[in-house]
C-alpha cells in the first residue's frame, strides 16, 4: 500500500508540474484567450481541487482505520529515559528530586566507574566534605 501511495504522489507531482509549464507557455503566448481556454482552465482547476479533496478523504479514512485497530505501526509511545549510566558506562549517583528547591551549583565527582552529583552549599557540599572537586 505504501508503494501505491508513493506512486500516486509522484504521478500527481509530475502532472502538476506539466500543468504549471503548460499554463505558463499559454500565458506567454500573446492574444491567446478564448472560451475554450477559459473552460479548460476551470476544468483543470476543478480537477486539481477535486483530487486534493479526494486524497484528503482517503487519508482521513486510512487514519481512522489505523486508530480503530489501536495499532500505529512502528511508532512507540514516549518512555521516560532512565539515568542509570552515562554514555561511557559509568553509573550515576543523582541528586534526590526536590521540586520545591533550586540549587545553583552542582558539583560532579568522578571516581572510577561512578559519577556523583552533589550540591554545594556555602563552601560545604551536602556530604559535609570540602567543596574542592
HSE, side-chain direction, 13 A CA sphere, residue 132: 1
Find all residues with CB under 8 Å of 86, minimum gap 6, and list them.
92, 115
What's the confidence (pLDDT) of residue 94? 78
Neighbours of 92 (CB within 10 A): 14
Write out the chain's pLDDT in tens, 133 residues. Answer: 788 888 988 998 999 899 888 888 877 777 766 778 778 888 988 998 999 999 999 999 988 888 887 766 666 666 777 778 888 888 888 777 765 566 677 788 888 888 888 877 655 444 555 445 4
- DSSP letter at 89? S
63 vs 59: CA distance, rounded Å: 6
Amino acid at each position: 500500500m505504501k508503494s501505491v501511495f508513493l506512486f500516486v504522489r509522484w504521478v500527481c507531482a509530475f502532472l502538476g508540474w506539466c500543468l504549471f509549464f503548460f499554463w505558463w507557455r499559454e500565458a506567454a503566448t500573446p492574444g491567446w484567450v478564448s472560451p475554450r481556454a477559459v473552460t479548460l482552465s476551470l476544468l483543470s482547476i476543478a480537477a486539481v481541487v477535486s483530487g486534493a479533496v479526494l486524497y484528503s478523504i482517503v487519508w482521513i479514512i486510512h487514519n481512522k482505520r489505523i486508530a480503530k485497530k489501536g495499532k500505529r505501526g512502528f511508532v512507540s509511545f514516549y518512555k521516560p529515559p532512565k539515568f542509570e549510566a552515562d554514555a561511557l558506562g559509568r553509573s550515576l549517583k543523582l541528586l534526590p528530586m526536590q521540586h520545591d528547591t533550586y540549587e545553583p551549583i552542582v558539583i560532579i565527582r568522578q571516581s572510577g566507574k561512578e559519577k556523583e552529583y552533589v550540591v554545594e552549599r556555602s563552601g560545604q557540599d551536602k556530604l559535609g566534605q570540602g567543596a574542592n572537586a
